[in-house]
Amino acid sequence: MAIKTLIEAVREGMHEEIRRDDSVFILGQDIGRRGGVFLATDGFIDDFGKHRIIDTPLAESSIAGIALGSAMNGLRPIAEIQFADFIWPTFNQLIGEASRARYGTNGDINVPLLIRTPYGGGVRGGLYHSQSVESFFSHSPGLTVVAPSTPYDAKGLIKSAVRSDDPVVFLEHKRTYRLVRGEVPEDEYTVPLGKAEVKMEGQHISLITYGLMVHLCAEAARNLANDGISVEVVDLRTLFPIDQETILESVKKTGKVIIVHEDTKTGGLGGEISAVISSEAFEYLDGPVTRLCGPDVPAMPFSPPLEQEFMLSTEKIIDAVQKLVSY
């Protein structure tokens, strides 16, 4: 196995899929000669040509619209939205049309459309380059929403997303792009959509999380082990539909749970997971279902101290775990 960064794994997964399937093409702003703002498609235009690696104007609604029409007519587009903070103009195409096409046509029309976009804070991106958008799409049946945390998962999930006959929103946390490294097999593999994974086994408390927060939770778990607290870390990987079975199995084992996400608390994914746990595993609980999330403020501050206050940290996770364990 080779050691790769998360962005390298995303690039490799897309490269393999576009080479494997002639119906796959990529479109987005600056994804051709420039290779994308994070170089996710670096070198692709030389390998596949400008008819399959298509630079578009700065017009997110048009990018999504072209991808939608192409997917409805037999192609498998990968559309890059340069930053999730500017994904709002795609809502009509993704939520109003793509998510409902199969249902609305009784299965006659599929939309094998993949939208990739970087999200999240902690990178000094300020108000317009730090937002988390997952809760908006996770409220739309018909869409699959994915947020990988490791290079292995990123490659395997993006290959599954390209092959899916339904639309997928693929969220890549910017801070993980080059910070997170891991083993990626050279042989062919995929990671199934809709399946969570227990990253660390534990007995005393479950941390349910995704994306960058997986790594903070894992670090917290390692530190807490020194105090005799055994923490289980569950990586959702797919945010919608969520893997209720894996979540409930973990909670029933430990009896205590914290849902951890960077997105703001109110209306976030943690509320839905809390409801599932409360209704399906209430009798197993030995403490309140707890959420540790970003604060309910309009956007990530640019000021470094305020950004640090907004972002979760290993220390904040440790404090929350110690409080709940002692409940």
pTM comes to 0.97
Please report the pLDDT score of residue 299 as a whole number. 87
Please report the pLDDT score of residue 58 as a whole number. 93
Q: What is the pLDDT of residues 212-241, one digit of tens each?
A: 999 999 999 999 999 999 999 999 999 999
Q: What is the pLDDT of residues 151-187, one digit of tens each?
A: 999 999 999 999 999 999 999 999 999 999 999 999 9
- Fold (topology level) of 197-325: Rossmann fold (3.40.50)
Q: Which CATH superfamily is domain 2-184 in?
A: Thiamin diphosphate (ThDP)-binding fold, Pyr/PP domains (3.40.50.970)
pLDDT band of 288, cuts 50, 70, 90: very high
pLDDT band of 1, cuts 50, 70, 90: confident
**Which part of the chain has CATH 3.40.50.920?**
197-325
Q: What is the pLDDT of residues 199-210, one digit of tens each?
A: 999 999 999 999
Q: Is 327 a residue whose pLDDT tops 90? A: no
pLDDT band of 39, cuts 50, 70, 90: very high
b/e map 38-48, b = 16+ CB within 10 Å: bebbbebbeeb
C-alpha span between 305 and 293 (Å, rounded): 18
Q: What is the pLDDT of residues 82-99, one digit of tens each?
A: 999 999 999 999 999 999
C-alpha span between 285 and 289 (Å, rounded): 8
CB burial class (10 A; 0-12, 13-18, 19+) of residue 74?
A: exposed
**Which part of the chain has CATH 3.40.50.970?**
2-184
pLDDT, average across residues 138-160: 97
| Rounded percentage of the chain residues whose pLDDT exceeds 70 | 100
Active site residues: 129
How confident is the prediction for the chain on average, in pLDDT?
97
Please report the pLDDT score of residue 179 as a whole number. 94
pLDDT band of 141, cuts 50, 70, 90: very high
Structure tokens at 183: 């083993």
